[in-house]
Amino acid sequence: MSVVEVVDAELNYLLIRSERRKTVGLYVKQGKVTVRAPYYLDQKHIDALVQKKLLWLKSKLEEQSQNQITTPRLFVDGSYLWVFGQYTKVTVIYGKKNQVNHLQVNNLQVNNLPVNDLPVNDLPVNDLTDELQIVLAKPKHSSISDQEILSRVNVQEQRLKVKKQLEKWFKNQAETYIAENLPYFSAKTKLTPKSFKVRQYKARWGSCNSKKELSFNYLLMMVPTWVIDYVIIHELCHLEHLNHSAKFWQLVEQHYPLYQAAKIWMKTHQSQLQWTLEV
Ligand SMILES: [Zn+2]
């Protein structure tokens, strides 16, 4: 087997030749291109193939670099999270007790605009960003300084604590928001649930059952309020139609004419709405 790094003006790639290989394969992984080829295949042949697939290779590379930007590491000091549709900086400090402070400095009314072009990949370029300050309780009777705590702390353990704090905070926000807004939409649509609860779901934003009980995913509080309101109306409409029939969508449209824009928003931002420690 031989491994050669091919540095080309158009595209750099790693060429791995092996005796067992019968065909040429092109692979794009972690932003790098690898070409696997039979040992004795001439370079001209390989060059021609790379040239032929150049557009595809470049689009793959582009796609992978986009993914890296849209899925930054979560739950660490300096990371970002959506909060009510605002890109919000997460900071971690140590203090007396566990708490979350929502410091709002950004007064842009992005929330009320039914737009699809909210920043997907752009990180905020200025300091005018909302902040979620996560305060983690210092160990009791500890005389060591904050600096020392930070240097001793296990990063993964800290991320877990930050995640827990955020979940508690988001759950609270969701309970408050839905308790305040559900009665309004209920009166507007004349559809009244028996009860509602807030919980975490892996793959859905809300649900409705035949007992007329509604549930909402508290991570819904990441999205702009006009999208949250769409989900509330969507679930309310299930009280009338417990399915996704044409009649159901007609009812949704009647109460929320911009429902398509809300659906598109959620689809476009889906990758940012996952809370996983692996990221
Ligand atoms: Zn539904």
> Which tens digit of pLDDT belongs to each residue from 163-202?
999 999 999 999 999 999 999 999 999 999 999 999 988 7
Reported pTM:
0.67
pLDDT greater than 50 at residue 122 = no
How distant, in Å, are the alpha carbons of 10, 79, 102, 127, 170 from that of 94? Answer: 49, 17, 16, 22, 20
pLDDT at 115: 37
CA of residue 241 to ligand 1 center, whole Å: 9
pLDDT at 98: 93
81 half-sphere exposure, CB direction, 13 A CA radius: 28
Share of the chain above pLDDT 90, in %: 38
CATH of 175-273, one of 3.90.1150.10, 3.20.20.105, 3.30.2010.10, 2.40.50.220: 3.30.2010.10
CA of residue 244 to ligand 1 center, whole Å: 6
CA of residue 256 to ligand 1 center, whole Å: 14
CA of residue 206 to ligand 1 center, whole Å: 8
CA of residue 225 to ligand 1 center, whole Å: 18
Residue among 151, 155, 233, 135 at smallest CA distance from 191: 233
CA of residue 234 to ligand 1 center, whole Å: 6
Q: Structural domain boundaries of the chain?
A: 2-70, 79-172, 175-273
Name the residue with higher pLDDT: 19 or 249: 249
The mean pLDDT value for 44-52 works out to: 85
How distant, in Å, are the alpha carbons of 6, 182, 224, 230, 250 from that of 237? Answer: 59, 12, 20, 10, 10
